[in-house]
Amino acid sequence: MQRQGKTMSEPVKISVRVNGTRYVRSVLPRIHLVDFLREELGIMGARLGCEHGVCGACTLRLDGEIVRGCLVLAVQANGAEVETVEGASDRGDLAELQQAFHARNALQCGYCTPGMLMTAAELVAAQPDATRAQVREFISGNYCRCTGYHAIVDAICDVLDRRRAPGAPARA
Ligand code: FES
Ligand code: FES
């Protein structure tokens, strides 16, 4: 019988910009974006943890939106702009947060840190007036097995505090 269209086992050609560089590759339709980045492109910043959308280790930006790289298929990124922690870091987008994480000892093994930084950067941009409780809530989808979260929340609050207008009321 004649087959119609492509099957899940046939590679599909995609073109995607990652951290400013365009890549054209053939990928199997079942390959997730984070696997594509790590295994095909050697871009290792987005980590693999649960592979089920729970831990946040694979957090990256797809066309400017924070997504879980383990829940997006590489073929869904065809024609899109992907940014990982490497790209965001090179642009200087994470510099304040990186400094604050360092100053507050907000990482130990560092496995969660790329995803945590990407999520924190989204928070700093989207909710500059976030309370400490809101910071906790915002990063609650990013798991850290080492730090107990306090230092991470402290680091993010430090960045928010530095950006607040002089004389603004103290953070709740
Ligand atoms: S590896 Fe994607 S959310 Fe855990
Ligand atoms: S620093 Fe180890 S998992 Fe967060």
pLDDT in tens, 131-157: 999 999 999 999 999 999 999 999 999
Note whether 60 and 83 are within 8 A (CB).
yes
Note whether 47 and 114 are within 8 A (CB).
yes
**pLDDT for 36 beyond 90:** yes
Number of neighbouring beta carbons within 10 Å of residue 100: 22
Q: Which of 73, 72, 65, 50 is nearest to 141 (CA)?
A: 50
Cα gap 71→25, rounded to integer Å: 20
pTM of the shown model: 0.92
pLDDT band at 3 (very low <50, low <70, confident <90, very high): low
pLDDT in tens, 100-113: 999 999 999 999 99
Q: Which of 47, 102, 108, 119 has the most ligand 2 atoms within 8 A of CB, as the residue to mutate? A: 108
The residue nearest atom 4 of ligand 2, judged by CA position, is 144
| Residue 75 DSSP one-character state | G
Nearest ligand 1 atom, CA 68:
2
pLDDT in tens, 53-79: 999 999 999 999 999 999 999 999 999
Residue whose structure tokens are 């928010």: 160
Cα gap 6→12, rounded to integer Å: 8
